[in-house]
Amino acid sequence: MFTGIVTDVGRVVSLEGRDSLGVRLSCSYDPDGIDPGASISCDGCCLTVVNRGGRAGDAWFDVDVSAETLSKTTLGGWAAGRRVNLERALRVGDELGGHIVSGHVDGVAEIVGVRPEGDSLRLSFEAPGDLSRFIASKGSVALDGTSLTVNEVDGARFGVNLIPHTRRVTAWEDRGEGDRVNLEVDVVARHVARLKEWNPQA
């Protein structure tokens, strides 16, 4: 479980495989605090650490990416050198600064517009049609592992603002119009929609 508050920006060091991938990512975490089997959100996708090494500030960890994950996320397009939003798993007692994020990506959204808005950057996205009903104005979404507030919704399109701080501490500066990003809808919105299917009068 995660919160969508990015705690480090890693970099893809190497990739091996085709139908599934073994990926090594660099990070600034203390490797002694990462146990094999730990979960780390990588661009919003919960991946399991299978090995780690280096030293604090100059560490690395390895993850395995299944064919199923490659088919549902942007990870199949990763290349060496790509910067990746990272978040360690939530611990009991940690501050919940964003919203509840599972790390189970629902689909891929496309950036369809980018424009400055004061000191912020306004991004517009197009979501897969089957996910758009879970996205609401002033609700939350996780995009590439970042908890963001939805400003407006128009059909399958929605917009968010990136404040300067978010752009500084994440890999969002690398994203632009036409890029695809991992989308996880708000788990509460998903369950409310499911309940309404069972009870349309609710």
Domain boundary among 33, 54, 88: 88
pLDDT (tens digit, 9 = 90+) per residue, 55-78? 999 999 999 999 999 999 999 999
Residue 170 has pLDDT above 90, yes or no: yes
**Nearest one of 80, 62, 70, 153 to 105, comparing CA atoms:** 70
The answer to whether 88 and 101 have CB atoms below 8 angstroms apart is no
119 and 164 in a common domain: yes
Domain boundary among 29, 53, 88: 88
Let me know if residue 177 belongs to a domain. yes
Residue 202 has pLDDT above 60, yes or no: no
Let me know if residue 2 belongs to a domain. no
Let me know if residue 101 belongs to a domain. no
Round to whole Å and give the CA distance between 31 and 41: 16
Handedness of CA 127, 130, 136, 139 (dihedral sign): negative
190 and 111 in a common domain: yes
122 and 70 in a common domain: no
Round to whole Å and give the CA distance between 25 and 42: 9
**Count of positions (residues) in the chain:** 202
Tokens in use for 84? 């990746």
H or E stretch covering 143: strand 140-143
Task: Note down the domain range covering 46.
Answer: 8-88
Residue 187 has pLDDT above 90, yes or no: no
Looking from the CA of 54 toward its CB, the CA atoms found within 13 Å total: 18
Let me know if residue 71 belongs to a domain. yes
Give the mean pLDDT of 105-129.
96
Let me know if residue 93 belongs to a domain. no
H or E stretch covering 83: strand 83-88
113 and 84 in a common domain: no
Tokens in use for 96? 């919940």
* Number of Cβ within a 10 Å radius of residue 117: 12
190 and 112 in a common domain: yes
168 and 112 in a common domain: yes
Let me know if residue 97 belongs to a domain. no
Residue 130 has pLDDT above 80, yes or no: yes
Give the number of domains in the chain. Answer: 2
79 and 19 in a common domain: yes
pLDDT (tens digit, 9 = 90+) per residue, 28-58? 999 999 999 999 999 999 999 999 999 999 9
Let me know if residue 100 belongs to a domain. no
Let me know if residue 95 belongs to a domain. no
Residue 128 has pLDDT above 70, yes or no: yes
119 and 55 in a common domain: no
Tokens in use for 14? 């190497």
CATH code, domain carrying 130: 2.40.30.20
Strands 157-162 and 58-65: unpaired
Predicted TM-score (pTM) of the model is 0.92
Q: What is the pLDDT of residue 189?
A: 67
Confidence of residue 91 (pLDDT cuts 50, 70, 90): confident
Domain boundary among 58, 88, 118: 88
Q: What is the pLDDT of residue 199?
A: 64
132 and 63 in a common domain: no
Q: Is 180 helix (H, G, I), strand (E, B) or coil?
A: strand
Residue 196 has pLDDT above 80, yes or no: no
